[in-house]
Structure 1
Amino acid sequence: MGGMRTLNLVFRPVLLQDAPLLHELYLACPGYFTLIGMEPPGLEDVVRDLVTLQNDPRRRAFLILEEDEVVGYVDYKLHYPEAQDATLSLLLIREDRQGQGLGRRALAHLMGHLAGAERLYAVVYGNNPRAKAFFQGQGFRHVKDGGPALSWYVREL
């Protein structure tokens, strides 16, 4: 029965020892880093970011797995910008797996697990029309641009 993939996505909290897995994911997404105008971070940068993340009680980050394979990453902050909000700073799907509905399913999963939040903001970095179209297609509306390289979207939960 080739070709059928399970619909089960697993969200696993990112731990410091997952830095190599996250680094691998970043390397598999060169287009994203080109869009935001930077090189993919090195492994030591990923480790430093994960340490920062673990020291911020409001931040949450998960590896997204499908059948034990890392297919994406999500990073968001609770109670930001306001107490009843959450802000999605990164939803990244591995480039060879984009266009298969994984981002949509990951976002739906996240929205279903944000207990207590009334709004979800999404931040789009760089000139990324595909990401903007994705969030608008998921019911987000454009709120403001924070400079040339930053667009904010919001959706009521």
Structure 2
Amino acid sequence: MEAMRTQSLSLRPVQLSDAALLQELFLKSPGYFALIGMEPPGLEDVIRDLHTLEKDPRRRAFLLFLEREAVGYLDYKLHYPEAEEATLSLLLIREDRQGQGLGQRALRHLMENLVGVKRLYAVVYGQNPRAKDFFLKEGFRHVKDGGPAVSWYVRTLRAGPDEGLL
């Protein structure tokens, strides 16, 4: 019998030095940006966003790696909108890696490691039925639409100590 090998998905905090890698990931996901009505951000825009990340102590962002290959990006905010809540603003899997369960694995990792958070919100931008279905299948429920371009989903989590992703 042949040995089975599973590829390891890891999350690493994004750093300013990752700007080019993050932009490359965005360039490999043009469908997402088309859904929200914009072009993938340029390098200067990515750098600007990473600078804002450094200035907000509640915001967390991670690059997702499958072995050593960057396959996704996860961005969320702790204690938002309320103290024991968090809001997932982007879970992006590179288009050529979608449909392999990577988004599900990243979301489950986040939910298992968020401590001190009782509810996780997910924001879906644009007309994105695939993302909406994803969150519904992952146990989220639709809360409200924030205009024609934003939908909010929520899932109750277990509560623990008051820290972010380990």
Structure 1-normalised TM-score?
0.97
> Structure 1 residue 52 and structure 2 residue 52: aligned?
yes
Contact 2:125 2:150 in 1 (8 A): yes
Structure 2 residue aligned with 1:61: 61
For residues 108-151 of structure 1, what are the alpha-carbon distances to aligned partners after superposition, in whole Å with 9 as ceiling and x for unaligned?
00001101100000000000000000000000000000000000
How far did residue 95 of structure 1 move?
0.2
Unaligned runs of 5+ in 2: 158-166
Identify if the C-alpha distance between structure 1 residues 156 and 46 changes in structure 2 by more than 3 Å, giving closer, same or farther: same
Aligned sequence identity (%): 75
Structure 2 residue aligned with 1:132: 132
Q: How does 1:2-151 map to 2 (within 5 A)?
A: 6-151=6-151
Counterparts of 1:5 and 1:121, CA distance in 2: 33
How far did residue 5 of structure 1 move?
5.9
2:20 is paired with a residue whose SS is: helix
Counterparts of 2:99 and 2:51, CA distance in 1: 31
Q: Which consecutive aligned stretches of 4+ in structure 1 deviate over 6 angstroms post-superposition?
A: none
How far did residue 6 of structure 1 move?
2.4
Counterparts of 1:20 and 1:6, CA distance in 2: 28
2:80 is paired with a residue whose SS is: coil
1:133 is paired with a residue whose SS is: helix
How far did residue 7 of structure 1 move?
3.9
1:37 is paired with a residue whose SS is: coil
Counterparts of 1:92 and 1:128, CA distance in 2: 12
Letter in 1 for 2:147: G
Counterparts of 2:146 and 2:132, CA distance in 1: 14
Structure 2-normalised TM-score?
0.91
Unaligned runs of 5+ in 1: none
How far did residue 8 of structure 1 move?
1.7
2:105 is paired with a residue whose SS is: helix
